[in-house]
């Protein structure tokens, strides 16, 4: 019975990776490669555009969102696995894989959280 679980997990992961890569390559095929001048113009919903285009966008809590989105699944899966760990030895391996896959985004989020001062707009930038 455990062999079917491993085969099912492998097929599911392979299918997920394949669909993700397929979507990426299809998007690369259909997107235009040319740089059009109107790409960098400001869109003001019918009003005459003014000011610089592609301005600075404040995302103060972006890093904290990434940290939350990586810590929460770890905690949820930890409690699920700890509820009945003796009957699911394979689940420990699956939990370890999950933890290892969430470590890079967690490190990125912690690294970005240290740069919060960079994200604060200065008064001269928005006036």
What's the pLDDT tens digit per position in 41-77? 666 666 666 666 555 556 667 778 888 888 888 888 7
Domain ranges of the chain: 2-44+55-126
Q: What is the pLDDT of residues 18-48, one digit of tens each?
A: 999 999 999 888 887 777 776 666 666 666 6
Q: What are phi and psi of 60, to 5 degrees?
A: -65, -40
Instruction: Measure the CA–CA gap between 84 and 4, rounded to whole angstroms.
Output: 20
| 69 neighbors 61 (Cβ within 8 angstroms) | no
């Amino acid at each position: 019975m455990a062999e079917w679980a491993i085969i099912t997990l492998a097929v599911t992961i392979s299918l997920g990776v394949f669909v993700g890569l397929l979507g990426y390559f299809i998007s690369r095929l259909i997107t235009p490669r040319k740089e059009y001048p109107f790409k960098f113009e400001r869109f003001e919903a019918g009003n005459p555009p003014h000011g610089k285009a592609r301005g600075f966008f404040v995302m103060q809590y972006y890093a904290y969102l990434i940290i939350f989105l990586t810590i929460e699944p770890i905690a949820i899966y930890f409690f699920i696995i700890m509820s009945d760990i003796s009957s699911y030895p394979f689940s420990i391996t699956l939990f370890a894989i999950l933890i290892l896959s969430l470590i890079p985004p967690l490190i990125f989020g912690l690294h970005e959280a240290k740069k919060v001062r960079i994200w604060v707009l200065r008064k001269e930038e928005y006036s």
